[in-house]
Amino acid sequence: MQATEILKTTLNSFSSNVSCPFFTTSDLRSVLPELSSGAFKAVLSRASKKNLIKRICRGLYFYPHQCQLTGLELYHAAARLRAHEFNYISLETALSDAGVISQIPLQWISIMSSGRSQIIKCNGLGHIEFIHTKKKPNDLVRHLHYDLQCHLWRADITLAIKDMKHTQRNLDLIDWELANEFI
């Protein structure tokens, strides 16, 4: 069986258990461990050109054939990209979802992360903004809850506003009357 067929068969079996499967390069590499680095890159390139997989950004692919788009793909991509870091949804994204700011950031999410600050363009999905934080999970436990749909921790309004101030973001969009009800 050719490498792209092996990849397709494996992705079909893995993706049947999740709603929208994202795979890192190392996930895909484990499917074809016998290939050299160059041959593996060629297989990924061919698979991408044949629309077997879709390259989202460097090191992240998604399998579109069994995927029902939900609008949560940026969150799922962020969770996979920084799986080994402490991350949580905050800033304008958390405040917009809570209705505390009037504007909804389209195709842009803001994530506080123990990893480095970075903006990642996700082809066709939008942008993920990772903002570095030195805060520890134990210090924030009262202000975080796990969002099962997004596969990420989410800040409450109090923490999101503190993060906005700490990162010197524009506070003009916040409906303070509504925000003060939650603080």
pTM of the model: 0.88
Bigger pLDDT: 42 vs 18 = 42
User: Which pLDDT belongs to residue 78?
Assistant: 95
User: Which pLDDT belongs to residue 155?
Assistant: 97
Strands (E), 102-143: 108-113, 118-122, 126-132
User: Which pLDDT belongs to residue 129?
Assistant: 97
Per-residue pLDDT of 53-83, as tens digits, reads 999 999 999 888 766 778 889 999 999 999 9
DSSP category for residue 142: G
User: Which pLDDT belongs to residue 11?
Assistant: 83
Per-residue pLDDT of 126-167, as tens digits, reads 999 999 999 999 999 999 999 999 999 999 999 999 999 999
Query: CA Rg, the chain, in Å?
Result: 19
Rounded to an integer, what distance in angstroms lies between the CA atom of residue 118 and that of residue 102? 25
User: Which pLDDT belongs to residue 22?
Assistant: 85
Rounded to an integer, what distance in angstroms lies between the CA atom of residue 73 and that of residue 76? 5
Rounded to an integer, what distance in angstroms lies between the CA atom of residue 22 and that of residue 18? 9
User: Which pLDDT belongs to residue 17?
Assistant: 63
At 50, the amino acid letter reads K
User: Which pLDDT belongs to residue 18?
Assistant: 61
User: Which pLDDT belongs to residue 36?
Assistant: 92
User: Which pLDDT belongs to residue 85?
Assistant: 96
Cα dihedral 16, 129, 89, 150, rounded to 10, equals -10
Domain residue ranges of the chain, discontinuous segments joined by +: 18-66, 73-182
Per-residue pLDDT of 11-40, as tens digits, reads 887 766 665 678 899 989 998 999 999 999
Q: What are the Cα distances from residue 16, in Å, to 70, 95, 115? A: 16, 34, 31
